Amino acid sequence: MNKILYFIITLVVAGWATTTTTAGNPDRQGEAGAPELLLNPWARSAGLHTMNTSMISGVEAMRLNIAGLVRIDRTEINVAHTQYLKGTDIGINAFGLAQKIGENSALGISIMTLDFGDIARTTTTQPEGTGSTFSPRYFNLGIGYAHMFENKVTVGVLFRAVTEGLEDVQASAMALDAGIQYVTGENDNFKFGISLRNVGSRLQFKGEGLAEELTITDFDGDHAVTVNQRPTAFELQSVLNIGLSYDFIPAVNHRITALGNYTSNAFSQDQIGGGIEYSFKDLVMIRGGYKLDFGQVASSEFDSEPLFTGIAGGFTVNVPLNKEKGSPKVAIDYGYQTTKIFDGNHHLSLRFNL
């Protein structure tokens, strides 16, 4: 148990050291790189505005709190697609696999890519387009491990590779996530979680696309030279999440879970919010949440408002493949997040619990 306490203290201190000087600082918004690290492709947690730090489990835990990875029966496979800002033709595709190792450990792997579609290529001399197209490449690969202590405390760590670029310019970085979940109560109905995400190396673009051909004129005439631009290195989107939840059991086969979450962002406003999830026999679930940015109420300017207006919701249909207890299940998850522009985010996931 002492090791668990040491881990908790270390995680909290690390999160405090990472965020106290910069957390909730809107003046630094836009200074960090890899914004896709804050996007959630999974529908179940997106329906709660990614605030279920204390109770998230399985594959989706690799995007919020890696400690929840171990809370599966045996094997979980998740495939997801998101229509990001519907109307922009931007899509997010994700795949994840979580595998139990023994009784108290689990390994997981997750992949996420962004699809921007075909973008028309323009130049200063051809602002209407050259006739060709391009598409940026955003790719994240995460490998995580989680362990459970006496069914009460779970801890986890995840390493993530981040890659962005075009055909002639690329950038890459490594990030580290760590998390812990604590469960207590007569029916394990009280849950508490902390996660520290996206702590890692700086992101800097390199490649031939940063070279520019210039013509210099001197007393000998005109000379063609190649100038290499020096790009600025960006920090990653460091985030500290603290959440709790409580399960109410009003009747047999019914569960109502209330949750709250606080998010400390190193490069933007901090956030706070809460949500509710209702479950019937763990076969049908309905959920919703609201998240508020600090400073959002004080400002009435449209341009200063956050992209997400705060409301999210979703549902799950979980179908057992046979009537035996512990049988494999197939689940369909849907989540929706409202936005101030375009038609929101639509998340759809297909989960297999084997």
- Is residue 344 domain-resident? yes
Task: Pick 292 or 322 by higher pLDDT.
Answer: 292
- 214, part of any domain: no
The predicted pLDDT at position 27 comes to 62
Question: What mean pLDDT, rounded, does the chain reach?
Answer: 88
Arithmetic mean of pLDDT, 117-127: 88
Q: Which domain holds residue 96?
A: 2-120+133-202+238-353
Q: What is the pLDDT of residue 184?
A: 92
**For residue 51, is it within any domain?**
yes
231 lies in some domain: no
Mean pLDDT within 207-230: 81
Instruction: Report yes or no on 232 lying in a domain.
Output: no
Confidence of residue 297 (pLDDT cuts 50, 70, 90): low
Structural domains counted in the chain: 1
Residues above pLDDT 90, as percent of the chain: 64
CATH of the domain at 158: 2.40.160.40
Instruction: Judge whether 208 lies within some domain.
Output: no
Task: Print the SS3 string covering the chain.
Answer: CHHHHHHHHHHHHHHHHHHCCCCCCHHHCCCECCHHHHCCCCHHHHCCCCCCCCCCCHHHHHHCCHHHHHCCCCEEEEEEEEEECCCCCEEEEEEEEEEEECCCEEEEEEEEEEECCCEECCCCCCCCCCCCEECCEEEEEEEEEEEEECCCEEEEEEEEEEEEECCCCEEEEEEEEEEEEEEECCCCCEEEEEEEEEEECCECCECHHHEEEEEEEECCEEEEEEEECCCCCEECCCEEEEEEEEEECCCCCEEEEEEEEEEEECCCCCEEEEEEEEEECCCEEEEEEEEEECCCCCCCCHHHCCCEEEEEEEEEEEEECCCCCCCCEEEEEEEEEEECCCCCEEEEEEEEEC
* Residue 158: predicted pLDDT: 97
Residue 126 lies in a domain: no
Per-residue pLDDT, averaged over 35-41, amounts to 94
pLDDT of residue 92 exceeding 80 = yes
Q: Is residue 216 a part of any domain in this protein?
A: no
pLDDT band with cut points at 50, 70 and 90 for residue 298: very low
pLDDT interval class at 295 (50, 70, 90): low
Best-predicted range by mean pLDDT (118-132, 206-220, 238-252): 238-252
